[in-house]
Chain A
Protein backbone atom coordinates (compact mmCIF):
# COMPACT_ATOMS: atom_id res chain seq x y z
CA UNK A 1 0.00 0.00 0.00
CA UNK A 2 2.77 2.41 1.00
CA UNK A 3 6.33 2.37 -0.19
CA UNK A 4 9.06 4.74 0.95
CA UNK A 5 11.95 4.86 -1.43
CA UNK A 6 15.32 6.40 -0.40
CA UNK A 7 13.59 9.25 1.40
CA UNK A 8 15.68 12.16 2.63
CA UNK A 9 13.78 14.88 4.48
CA UNK A 10 14.33 17.53 7.10
CA UNK A 11 13.88 21.16 8.00
CA UNK A 12 15.27 24.17 6.15
CA UNK A 13 17.27 21.97 3.78
CA UNK A 14 19.03 20.19 6.67
CA UNK A 15 18.27 16.46 6.55
CA UNK A 16 16.87 14.76 9.62
CA UNK A 17 15.88 11.54 7.83
CA UNK A 18 18.49 9.87 5.64
CA UNK A 19 17.81 7.17 3.07
CA UNK A 20 14.67 5.74 4.56
CA UNK A 21 13.31 2.64 2.83
CA UNK A 22 10.15 1.07 4.17
CA UNK A 23 6.96 -0.68 3.10
CA UNK A 24 3.51 -1.14 4.52
CA UNK A 25 1.20 -3.74 2.98
CA UNK A 26 -2.57 -3.33 2.92
CA UNK A 27 -4.15 -4.49 6.17
CA UNK A 28 -0.85 -4.55 8.01
CA UNK A 29 -0.06 -2.95 11.35
CA UNK A 30 3.49 -1.69 11.33
CA UNK A 31 5.37 -0.20 14.27
CA UNK A 32 7.78 2.69 13.96
CA UNK A 33 10.05 2.73 16.99
CA UNK A 34 12.88 4.89 18.16
CA UNK A 35 14.17 7.00 21.00
CA UNK A 36 13.18 10.62 21.50
CA UNK A 37 14.34 12.80 18.56
CA UNK A 38 15.07 9.78 16.35
CA UNK A 39 12.92 11.30 13.60
CA UNK A 40 9.64 9.39 13.98
CA UNK A 41 7.42 12.46 13.86
CA UNK A 42 9.43 13.88 10.97
CA UNK A 43 8.82 10.66 9.02
CA UNK A 44 5.10 10.63 9.72
CA UNK A 45 4.91 14.32 8.76
CA UNK A 46 6.75 13.55 5.53
CA UNK A 47 4.07 10.98 4.75
CA UNK A 48 1.38 13.57 5.56
CA UNK A 49 3.07 16.18 3.38
CA UNK A 50 3.77 18.53 6.28
CA UNK A 51 7.52 18.08 5.77
CA UNK A 52 8.76 18.35 2.18
CA UNK A 53 11.15 15.67 0.94
CA UNK A 54 14.67 16.69 -0.09
CA UNK A 55 14.98 13.62 -2.26
CA UNK A 56 13.46 10.17 -2.68
CA UNK A 57 9.90 9.06 -3.36
CA UNK A 58 6.80 8.03 -1.47
CA UNK A 59 4.41 5.72 -3.30
CA UNK A 60 0.85 5.20 -2.14
CA UNK A 61 -1.23 2.59 -3.98
CA UNK A 62 1.41 2.69 -6.70
CA UNK A 63 1.27 6.46 -7.20
CA UNK A 64 4.07 8.90 -6.38
CA UNK A 65 2.59 11.22 -3.78
CA UNK A 66 5.76 12.96 -2.65
CA UNK A 67 4.83 16.24 -4.34
CA UNK A 68 1.18 16.28 -3.26
CA UNK A 69 -0.16 18.79 -0.73
CA UNK A 70 -1.25 17.63 2.72
CA UNK A 71 -4.89 18.13 1.65
CA UNK A 72 -4.52 15.91 -1.40
CA UNK A 73 -2.98 13.18 0.75
CA UNK A 74 -5.79 13.33 3.30
CA UNK A 75 -8.24 12.96 0.44
CA UNK A 76 -6.37 9.84 -0.69
CA UNK A 77 -6.86 8.39 2.79
CA UNK A 78 -3.45 9.03 4.37
CA UNK A 79 -4.49 10.29 7.76
CA UNK A 80 -2.40 11.25 10.77
CA UNK A 81 -3.42 11.29 14.43
CA UNK A 82 -0.77 13.69 15.67
CA UNK A 83 1.50 13.50 18.65
CA UNK A 84 0.01 15.36 21.58
CA UNK A 85 -3.46 14.78 20.06
CA UNK A 86 -3.94 18.40 18.97
CA UNK A 87 -7.71 18.39 19.30
CA UNK A 88 -9.37 21.78 18.73
CA UNK A 89 -9.83 22.71 22.38
CA UNK A 90 -12.45 25.44 21.99
CA UNK A 91 -14.72 23.31 19.86
CA UNK A 92 -17.15 20.62 20.85
CA UNK A 93 -16.51 16.92 20.32
CA UNK A 94 -19.05 16.98 17.52
CA UNK A 95 -17.30 19.88 15.77
CA UNK A 96 -13.93 18.15 16.14
CA UNK A 97 -15.37 15.04 14.50
CA UNK A 98 -16.98 17.08 11.73
CA UNK A 99 -13.62 18.71 11.04
CA UNK A 100 -12.04 15.28 10.83
CA UNK A 101 -14.30 14.52 7.89
CA UNK A 102 -14.03 17.91 6.21
CA UNK A 103 -11.93 16.74 3.25
CA UNK A 104 -13.67 16.66 -0.12
CA UNK A 105 -13.69 12.86 -0.22
CA UNK A 106 -15.10 12.16 3.26
CA UNK A 107 -17.44 15.13 3.55
CA UNK A 108 -20.41 13.38 1.94
CA UNK A 109 -20.38 10.45 4.35
CA UNK A 110 -19.99 12.28 7.61
CA UNK A 111 -23.26 11.27 9.28
CA UNK A 112 -22.66 7.53 8.71
CA UNK A 113 -19.01 7.86 9.65
CA UNK A 114 -19.90 9.69 12.85
CA UNK A 115 -22.25 6.85 13.84
CA UNK A 116 -19.39 4.39 13.42
CA UNK A 117 -17.00 6.50 15.49
CA UNK A 118 -19.57 6.89 18.25
CA UNK A 119 -20.14 3.14 18.12
CA UNK A 120 -16.42 2.65 18.69
CA UNK A 121 -16.17 5.32 21.39
CA UNK A 122 -19.55 5.50 23.18
CA UNK A 123 -17.94 7.86 25.68
CA UNK A 124 -17.58 10.48 22.95
CA UNK A 125 -21.18 9.98 21.88
CA UNK A 126 -22.40 10.74 25.38
CA UNK A 127 -20.80 14.19 25.40
CA UNK A 128 -20.95 15.45 21.84
CA UNK A 129 -21.56 19.06 22.87
CA UNK A 130 -18.80 19.19 25.48
CA UNK A 131 -15.72 21.18 24.52
CA UNK A 132 -12.68 19.12 23.59
CA UNK A 133 -10.48 21.20 25.89
CA UNK A 134 -12.40 19.97 28.92
CA UNK A 135 -11.72 16.28 28.22
CA UNK A 136 -9.11 14.17 30.01
CA UNK A 137 -5.97 13.14 28.13
CA UNK A 138 -7.36 9.68 27.42
CA UNK A 139 -10.65 11.06 26.16
CA UNK A 140 -8.78 13.51 23.97
CA UNK A 141 -6.83 10.60 22.48
CA UNK A 142 -10.13 8.84 21.70
CA UNK A 143 -11.34 12.02 20.07
CA UNK A 144 -8.13 12.40 18.06
CA UNK A 145 -8.45 8.82 16.78
CA UNK A 146 -12.16 9.30 16.11
CA UNK A 147 -11.39 12.49 14.22
CA UNK A 148 -8.84 10.61 12.13
CA UNK A 149 -11.37 7.87 11.34
CA UNK A 150 -13.87 10.52 10.21
CA UNK A 151 -11.49 11.24 7.32
CA UNK A 152 -12.14 7.72 5.97
CA UNK A 153 -8.54 6.73 6.45
CA UNK A 154 -7.05 3.95 4.36
CA UNK A 155 -3.73 4.32 6.16
CA UNK A 156 -4.06 5.54 9.73
CA UNK A 157 -0.85 6.87 11.24
CA UNK A 158 -0.86 7.20 15.02
CA UNK A 159 1.94 9.28 16.53
CA UNK A 160 2.61 8.17 20.13
CA UNK A 161 -1.01 7.46 21.09
CA UNK A 162 0.04 6.25 24.55
CA UNK A 163 1.93 9.43 25.42
CA UNK A 164 0.94 10.76 28.83
CA UNK A 165 -1.94 8.34 29.37
CA UNK A 166 -2.68 6.27 32.47
CA UNK A 167 -1.98 2.52 32.07
CA UNK A 168 -5.71 1.79 31.94
CA UNK A 169 -6.23 4.19 29.05
CA UNK A 170 -3.11 2.91 27.26
CA UNK A 171 -4.59 -0.58 27.39
CA UNK A 172 -7.94 0.67 26.14
CA UNK A 173 -6.39 2.64 23.26
CA UNK A 174 -4.36 -0.37 22.17
CA UNK A 175 -7.45 -2.57 22.27
CA UNK A 176 -9.08 -0.07 19.93
CA UNK A 177 -6.04 -0.16 17.65
CA UNK A 178 -6.21 -3.97 17.54
CA UNK A 179 -9.90 -3.76 16.73
CA UNK A 180 -9.33 -1.31 13.89
CA UNK A 181 -6.62 -3.61 12.55
CA UNK A 182 -8.92 -6.61 12.81
CA UNK A 183 -11.48 -4.65 10.76
CA UNK A 184 -8.91 -4.40 7.98
CA UNK A 185 -7.49 -0.89 8.48
CA UNK A 186 -3.82 -0.40 7.61
CA UNK A 187 -2.01 1.17 10.55
CA UNK A 188 1.35 2.80 11.12
CA UNK A 189 1.94 2.92 14.85
CA UNK A 190 4.63 5.31 16.04
CA UNK A 191 5.76 4.67 19.58
CA UNK A 192 8.60 5.11 21.98
CA UNK A 193 7.23 2.30 24.11
CA UNK A 194 9.15 -0.70 22.80
CA UNK A 195 7.50 -3.68 24.51
CA UNK A 196 3.97 -2.41 24.04
CA UNK A 197 4.50 -1.87 20.33
CA UNK A 198 6.19 -5.24 19.81
CA UNK A 199 3.09 -6.88 21.28
CA UNK A 200 0.69 -5.18 18.85
CA UNK A 201 2.61 -4.61 15.61
CA UNK A 202 3.20 -7.31 13.01
CA UNK A 203 6.40 -5.74 11.75
CA UNK A 204 8.56 -2.91 13.04
CA UNK A 205 11.12 -0.41 11.93
CA UNK A 206 13.50 1.04 14.48
CA UNK A 207 14.78 4.51 13.70
CA UNK A 208 18.09 5.73 15.04
CA UNK A 209 19.21 9.28 14.35
CA UNK A 210 17.13 9.50 11.19
CA UNK A 211 18.05 6.11 9.75
CA UNK A 212 16.45 2.69 9.84
CA UNK A 213 18.63 0.70 12.25
CA UNK A 214 16.56 -2.49 12.50
CA UNK A 215 13.57 -3.87 10.65
CA UNK A 216 11.61 -7.09 10.68
CA UNK A 217 8.89 -8.94 12.55
CA UNK A 218 8.39 -8.34 16.24
CA UNK A 219 10.52 -11.30 17.29
CA UNK A 220 13.46 -10.29 15.08
CA UNK A 221 13.39 -6.71 16.29
CA UNK A 222 13.10 -7.76 19.90
CA UNK A 223 16.15 -10.00 19.73
CA UNK A 224 18.35 -7.71 17.65
CA UNK A 225 21.01 -6.09 19.86
CA UNK A 226 20.92 -2.99 17.66
CA UNK A 227 17.38 -2.31 18.88
CA UNK A 228 18.64 -1.89 22.41
CA UNK A 229 21.57 0.25 21.32
CA UNK A 230 19.26 2.43 19.18
CA UNK A 231 17.26 3.09 22.33
CA UNK A 232 20.21 3.75 24.54
CA UNK A 233 21.79 5.93 21.88
CA UNK A 234 25.04 3.97 21.88
Chain B
Protein backbone atom coordinates (compact mmCIF):
# COMPACT_ATOMS: atom_id res chain seq x y z
CA UNK B 1 0.00 0.00 0.00
CA UNK B 2 2.79 2.39 0.90
CA UNK B 3 4.36 1.78 -2.47
CA UNK B 4 1.08 2.57 -4.17
CA UNK B 5 0.71 5.90 -2.39
CA UNK B 6 4.36 6.64 -3.04
CA UNK B 7 3.97 5.99 -6.76
CA UNK B 8 0.75 7.98 -6.97
CA UNK B 9 2.18 10.97 -5.15
CA UNK B 10 5.41 10.98 -7.09
CA UNK B 11 3.58 10.59 -10.42
CA UNK B 12 1.12 13.36 -9.67
CA UNK B 13 3.85 15.75 -8.66
CA UNK B 14 5.99 15.21 -11.74
CA UNK B 15 2.93 14.90 -13.99
CA UNK B 16 1.94 18.51 -13.35
CA UNK B 17 5.22 19.62 -14.89
CA UNK B 18 4.68 17.29 -17.86
CA UNK B 19 1.30 18.96 -18.28
CA UNK B 20 2.95 22.37 -18.29
CA UNK B 21 5.49 21.25 -20.92
CA UNK B 22 2.65 20.02 -23.06
CA UNK B 23 0.60 23.21 -22.68
CA UNK B 24 3.44 25.10 -24.36
CA UNK B 25 3.48 22.66 -27.26
CA UNK B 26 -0.31 22.67 -27.52
CA UNK B 27 -0.48 26.47 -27.66
CA UNK B 28 2.09 26.62 -30.44
CA UNK B 29 0.28 23.90 -32.38
CA UNK B 30 -2.99 25.75 -31.86
CA UNK B 31 -1.88 29.04 -33.41
CA UNK B 32 0.70 27.95 -36.02
CA UNK B 33 -0.02 24.28 -36.70
CA UNK B 34 3.63 23.61 -35.86
CA UNK B 35 4.65 20.54 -33.87
CA UNK B 36 8.06 21.26 -32.47
CA UNK B 37 10.19 18.12 -32.34
CA UNK B 38 13.04 20.03 -30.70
CA UNK B 39 10.82 20.75 -27.70
CA UNK B 40 12.74 18.41 -25.41
CA UNK B 41 16.09 19.77 -26.56
CA UNK B 42 15.02 23.24 -25.52
CA UNK B 43 14.34 21.78 -22.08
CA UNK B 44 17.88 20.39 -22.21
CA UNK B 45 19.16 23.78 -23.24
CA UNK B 46 17.41 25.35 -20.26
CA UNK B 47 18.88 22.77 -17.91
CA UNK B 48 22.40 23.17 -19.24
CA UNK B 49 22.10 26.94 -18.99
CA UNK B 50 21.30 26.44 -15.31
CA UNK B 51 24.33 24.14 -15.02
CA UNK B 52 26.56 26.76 -16.64
CA UNK B 53 25.26 29.46 -14.32
CA UNK B 54 25.88 27.19 -11.36
CA UNK B 55 29.43 26.40 -12.51
CA UNK B 56 30.25 30.05 -13.11
CA UNK B 57 28.43 31.81 -10.27
CA UNK B 58 27.25 28.98 -7.98
CA UNK B 59 23.74 30.13 -8.86
CA UNK B 60 20.83 28.00 -7.67
CA UNK B 61 18.59 26.81 -10.58
CA UNK B 62 15.60 28.51 -8.96
CA UNK B 63 17.51 31.78 -9.17
CA UNK B 64 18.88 31.15 -12.65
CA UNK B 65 15.41 31.46 -14.15
CA UNK B 66 15.78 35.23 -13.85
CA UNK B 67 18.30 34.85 -16.67
CA UNK B 68 17.22 31.68 -18.48
CA UNK B 69 13.55 32.56 -18.94
CA UNK B 70 14.07 35.89 -20.74
CA UNK B 71 17.00 34.45 -22.69
CA UNK B 72 15.12 31.36 -23.87
CA UNK B 73 12.02 33.44 -24.66
CA UNK B 74 14.17 35.61 -26.92
CA UNK B 75 15.77 32.53 -28.50
CA UNK B 76 12.29 31.14 -29.10
CA UNK B 77 11.21 34.33 -30.88
CA UNK B 78 14.32 34.32 -33.09
CA UNK B 79 13.98 30.63 -33.94
CA UNK B 80 10.38 31.18 -34.96
CA UNK B 81 11.06 34.29 -37.04
CA UNK B 82 14.14 33.04 -38.88
CA UNK B 83 13.69 29.26 -39.07
CA UNK B 84 10.11 28.19 -38.57
CA UNK B 85 8.08 31.03 -40.06
CA UNK B 86 9.57 30.66 -43.55
CA UNK B 87 8.39 27.01 -43.51
CA UNK B 88 4.88 27.53 -42.16
CA UNK B 89 2.29 27.11 -44.87
CA UNK B 90 4.51 24.69 -46.76
CA UNK B 91 4.30 20.95 -46.24
CA UNK B 92 3.70 19.92 -42.65
CA UNK B 93 6.53 17.40 -43.00
CA UNK B 94 8.98 20.16 -43.89
CA UNK B 95 8.32 21.83 -40.56
CA UNK B 96 8.71 18.48 -38.81
CA UNK B 97 12.01 17.92 -40.58
CA UNK B 98 13.19 21.39 -39.68
CA UNK B 99 12.46 20.97 -35.98
CA UNK B 100 14.06 17.51 -36.02
CA UNK B 101 17.16 19.10 -37.54
CA UNK B 102 17.06 21.78 -34.89
CA UNK B 103 16.90 19.04 -32.28
CA UNK B 104 20.15 17.52 -33.59
CA UNK B 105 21.83 20.92 -33.71
CA UNK B 106 20.86 21.69 -30.12
CA UNK B 107 21.85 18.25 -28.88
CA UNK B 108 25.26 18.35 -30.54
CA UNK B 109 25.82 21.96 -29.57
CA UNK B 110 25.27 21.05 -25.94
CA UNK B 111 27.52 18.02 -26.36
CA UNK B 112 30.32 20.18 -27.75
CA UNK B 113 30.12 22.69 -24.92
CA UNK B 114 29.45 20.44 -21.94
CA UNK B 115 30.71 17.00 -23.03
CA UNK B 116 28.73 13.78 -22.77
CA UNK B 117 29.19 12.94 -19.10
CA UNK B 118 26.01 13.03 -16.99
CA UNK B 119 26.10 16.16 -14.85
CA UNK B 120 24.21 17.40 -11.81
CA UNK B 121 23.25 20.87 -10.77
CA UNK B 122 22.83 21.12 -7.01
CA UNK B 123 20.03 23.16 -5.51
CA UNK B 124 19.43 24.13 -1.92
CA UNK B 125 16.23 22.08 -1.84
CA UNK B 126 17.71 19.09 -3.60
CA UNK B 127 17.96 16.67 -0.71
CA UNK B 128 15.13 18.02 1.43
CA UNK B 129 12.29 15.60 2.06
CA UNK B 130 8.80 15.83 3.43
CA UNK B 131 7.41 12.73 5.08
CA UNK B 132 3.63 12.25 5.13
CA UNK B 133 2.87 9.00 6.98
CA UNK B 134 4.73 6.40 4.98
CA UNK B 135 5.08 8.50 1.87
CA UNK B 136 8.33 10.32 1.26
CA UNK B 137 8.10 13.36 -0.97
CA UNK B 138 11.07 15.22 -2.39
CA UNK B 139 10.79 18.96 -1.93
CA UNK B 140 11.85 19.75 -5.54
CA UNK B 141 8.93 17.65 -6.75
CA UNK B 142 6.53 19.57 -4.53
CA UNK B 143 7.93 22.88 -5.76
CA UNK B 144 7.59 21.65 -9.36
CA UNK B 145 3.99 20.60 -8.76
CA UNK B 146 2.91 23.84 -7.11
CA UNK B 147 4.67 26.11 -9.58
CA UNK B 148 3.48 24.10 -12.60
CA UNK B 149 -0.13 24.24 -11.49
CA UNK B 150 0.11 27.90 -10.60
CA UNK B 151 1.54 28.61 -14.04
CA UNK B 152 -1.09 26.49 -15.76
CA UNK B 153 -3.82 28.38 -13.93
CA UNK B 154 -2.10 31.65 -14.78
CA UNK B 155 -1.97 30.66 -18.44
CA UNK B 156 -5.61 29.69 -18.35
CA UNK B 157 -6.63 33.02 -16.89
CA UNK B 158 -4.41 34.81 -19.41
CA UNK B 159 -6.10 32.95 -22.30
CA UNK B 160 -9.58 33.60 -20.95
CA UNK B 161 -9.49 37.18 -19.84
CA UNK B 162 -6.75 39.21 -21.47
CA UNK B 163 -6.67 40.67 -24.95
CA UNK B 164 -3.47 38.78 -25.72
CA UNK B 165 -5.05 35.52 -24.57
CA UNK B 166 -8.19 36.16 -26.61
CA UNK B 167 -5.99 36.95 -29.62
CA UNK B 168 -4.28 33.58 -29.24
CA UNK B 169 -7.63 31.80 -29.11
CA UNK B 170 -8.96 33.84 -32.03
CA UNK B 171 -5.97 32.93 -34.21
CA UNK B 172 -6.46 29.29 -33.22
CA UNK B 173 -10.16 29.30 -34.10
CA UNK B 174 -9.97 31.29 -37.33
CA UNK B 175 -6.78 33.05 -38.36
CA UNK B 176 -8.43 34.87 -41.29
CA UNK B 177 -11.17 36.30 -39.09
CA UNK B 178 -8.58 37.21 -36.45
CA UNK B 179 -6.67 39.25 -39.02
CA UNK B 180 -9.91 41.01 -39.97
CA UNK B 181 -10.29 42.08 -36.32
CA UNK B 182 -6.97 43.87 -36.65
CA UNK B 183 -4.99 41.19 -34.84
CA UNK B 184 -1.43 40.85 -36.11
CA UNK B 185 -1.52 37.09 -36.66
CA UNK B 186 2.21 36.80 -37.37
CA UNK B 187 3.02 38.59 -34.14
CA UNK B 188 0.70 36.35 -32.12
CA UNK B 189 2.41 33.29 -33.61
CA UNK B 190 5.90 34.56 -32.74
CA UNK B 191 4.90 35.54 -29.21
CA UNK B 192 3.15 32.23 -28.59
CA UNK B 193 6.20 30.27 -29.73
CA UNK B 194 8.45 32.47 -27.60
CA UNK B 195 6.11 31.98 -24.64
CA UNK B 196 6.19 28.21 -25.17
CA UNK B 197 10.00 28.18 -25.10
CA UNK B 198 10.07 30.54 -22.11
CA UNK B 199 7.82 28.11 -20.22
CA UNK B 200 10.34 25.36 -21.04
CA UNK B 201 13.11 27.39 -19.37
CA UNK B 202 11.00 27.46 -16.22
CA UNK B 203 10.09 23.80 -16.46
CA UNK B 204 13.79 22.98 -16.93
CA UNK B 205 14.63 24.61 -13.59
CA UNK B 206 11.73 22.78 -11.92
CA UNK B 207 12.86 19.37 -13.22
CA UNK B 208 16.55 19.94 -12.60
CA UNK B 209 17.26 19.64 -8.86
CA UNK B 210 18.57 16.16 -8.10
CA UNK B 211 18.22 14.94 -11.70
CA UNK B 212 21.34 13.97 -13.61
CA UNK B 213 21.30 15.52 -17.08
CA UNK B 214 22.94 14.60 -20.35
CA UNK B 215 22.78 16.13 -23.83
CA UNK B 216 20.88 13.21 -25.37
CA UNK B 217 17.92 13.37 -23.01
CA UNK B 218 15.96 15.84 -25.16
CA UNK B 219 14.20 13.22 -27.24
CA UNK B 220 12.79 11.59 -24.12
CA UNK B 221 11.18 14.86 -23.06
CA UNK B 222 9.90 15.49 -26.59
CA UNK B 223 8.25 12.08 -26.66
CA UNK B 224 6.70 12.49 -23.21
CA UNK B 225 5.37 15.91 -24.23
CA UNK B 226 3.94 14.52 -27.46
CA UNK B 227 2.20 11.72 -25.56
CA UNK B 228 0.63 14.25 -23.22
CA UNK B 229 -0.42 16.65 -25.97
CA UNK B 230 -2.01 13.93 -28.08
CA UNK B 231 -3.66 12.40 -25.03
CA UNK B 232 -5.03 15.80 -24.07
CA UNK B 233 -6.46 16.42 -27.53
CA UNK B 234 -3.79 18.83 -28.88
CA UNK B 235 -5.37 22.10 -27.79
CA UNK B 236 -7.60 21.19 -24.87
CA UNK B 237 -6.30 22.90 -21.76
CA UNK B 238 -7.86 20.69 -19.11
CA UNK B 239 -7.25 17.56 -21.19
CA UNK B 240 -3.56 18.35 -21.45
CA UNK B 241 -3.07 18.92 -17.71
CA UNK B 242 -4.93 15.68 -17.03
CA UNK B 243 -2.82 13.90 -19.67
CA UNK B 244 0.29 15.16 -17.88
CA UNK B 245 -0.88 13.66 -14.59
CA UNK B 246 -1.76 10.34 -16.24
CA UNK B 247 1.62 10.02 -17.96
CA UNK B 248 3.42 11.11 -14.78
CA UNK B 249 1.61 8.47 -12.74
CA UNK B 250 2.17 5.81 -15.41
CA UNK B 251 5.86 6.59 -15.36
CA UNK B 252 6.07 6.41 -11.57
CA UNK B 253 4.18 3.11 -11.47
CA UNK B 254 6.41 1.74 -14.19
CA UNK B 255 9.62 2.54 -12.34
CA UNK B 256 8.40 1.47 -8.91
CA UNK B 257 6.49 -1.72 -9.74
CA UNK B 258 8.09 -3.07 -12.88
CA UNK B 259 11.72 -3.86 -13.53
CA UNK B 260 13.84 -2.43 -16.28
CA UNK B 261 12.60 -1.77 -19.81
CA UNK B 262 9.00 -2.86 -19.23
CA UNK B 263 8.70 -0.28 -16.46
CA UNK B 264 9.96 2.46 -18.75
CA UNK B 265 7.45 1.38 -21.39
CA UNK B 266 4.42 1.69 -19.13
CA UNK B 267 3.54 5.29 -20.08
CA UNK B 268 3.51 4.29 -23.74
CA UNK B 269 1.39 1.22 -23.08
CA UNK B 270 -1.12 3.31 -21.12
CA UNK B 271 -1.05 5.89 -23.90
CA UNK B 272 -1.83 3.33 -26.59
CA UNK B 273 -4.56 1.80 -24.45
CA UNK B 274 -6.28 5.17 -23.87
CA UNK B 275 -6.01 6.16 -27.52
CA UNK B 276 -7.56 2.84 -28.57
CA UNK B 277 -10.67 3.60 -26.56
CA UNK B 278 -10.70 7.39 -26.87
CA UNK B 279 -9.21 8.14 -30.29
CA UNK B 280 -9.69 11.88 -29.80
CA UNK B 281 -7.88 11.89 -26.48
CA UNK B 282 -9.36 13.36 -23.34
CA UNK B 283 -11.41 16.01 -25.13
CA UNK B 284 -14.82 15.76 -23.63
CA UNK B 285 -14.98 19.46 -22.96
CA UNK B 286 -13.41 22.18 -24.96
CA UNK B 287 -11.65 24.69 -22.78
CA UNK B 288 -10.62 26.86 -25.64
Residues on A close to B: CB < 8 A? 48, 50, 69-71, 74-75, 79-80, 82, 86-91, 95, 98-100, 102-104, 107, 147, 151
With a cutoff of 8 Å between Cβ atoms, the chain B residues found around residue A86 in the complex are 174, 176-177, 180
Beta-carbon nearest neighbor of B171 in chain A: A88
A104 to B167, CA, bound (A): 13
With a cutoff of 8 Å between Cβ atoms, the chain B residues found around residue A102 in the complex are 163, 166-167, 181-183
Beta-carbon nearest neighbor of A132 in chain B: B173
With a cutoff of 8 Å between Cβ atoms, the chain B residues found around residue A50 in the complex are 176, 179-180
Given contact pairs A71-B184, A90-B169, a sample of 13 additional A-B residue pairs in the complex whose CB atoms are under 8 Å apart: A48-B180, A75-B182, A88-B169, A88-B177, A90-B173, A95-B166, A99-B183, A102-B163, A102-B167, A102-B182, A103-B182, A147-B181, A151-B181
Residues on B close to A: CB < 8 A? 163, 166-167, 169-170, 173-174, 176-184, 286, 288
Beta-carbon nearest neighbor of A110 in chain B: B163
Q: Say whether A91 contacts B163, CB under 8 Å.
A: no
Minimal beta-carbon separation of B113 from chain A (angstroms): 41
Give the interface centre of A71, A79, A89 by most chain B CB atoms within 10 Å. Answer: A71
Beta-carbon nearest neighbor of B160 in chain A: A95
With a cutoff of 8 Å between Cβ atoms, the chain A residues found around residue B178 in the complex are 99
Q: Say whether A71 contacts B174, CB under 8 Å.
A: no
With a cutoff of 8 Å between Cβ atoms, the chain A residues found around residue B180 in the complex are 48, 50, 70, 74, 79-80, 82, 86
Q: Say whether B174 contacts A88, CB under 8 Å.
A: yes
Pairs across A and B, CB under 8 Å, 8 listed: A48-B180, A71-B179, A71-B184, A82-B176, A86-B174, A86-B177, A99-B181, A147-B181
Q: Say whether A103 contacts B181, CB under 8 Å.
A: yes
Q: Say whether B173 contacts A89, CB under 8 Å.
A: yes
A27 to B167, CA, bound (A): 32
With a cutoff of 8 Å between Cβ atoms, the chain B residues found around residue A69 in the complex are 184
A107 to B177, CA, bound (A): 17
A159 to B26, CA, bound (A): 33
A113 to B108, CA, bound (A): 55
A191 to B170, CA, bound (A): 27
A86 to B163, CA, bound (A): 19
A146 to B177, CA, bound (A): 14
A86 to B179, CA, bound (A): 11
Minimal beta-carbon separation of A107 from chain B (angstroms): 7
A82 to B167, CA, bound (A): 18
With a cutoff of 8 Å between Cβ atoms, the chain A residues found around residue B288 in the complex are 90
Beta-carbon nearest neighbor of B163 in chain A: A102
With a cutoff of 8 Å between Cβ atoms, the chain A residues found around residue B163 in the complex are 98, 102, 107
Beta-carbon nearest neighbor of A73 in chain B: B182
Q: Say whether A70 contacts B166, CB under 8 Å.
A: no
Beta-carbon nearest neighbor of B176 in chain A: A86
With a cutoff of 8 Å between Cβ atoms, the chain A residues found around residue B169 in the complex are 88, 90-91
Ranked 8 nearest A-B pairs via Cβ = A74-B182, A103-B182, A86-B177, A88-B173, A71-B182, A70-B179, A99-B181, A80-B180
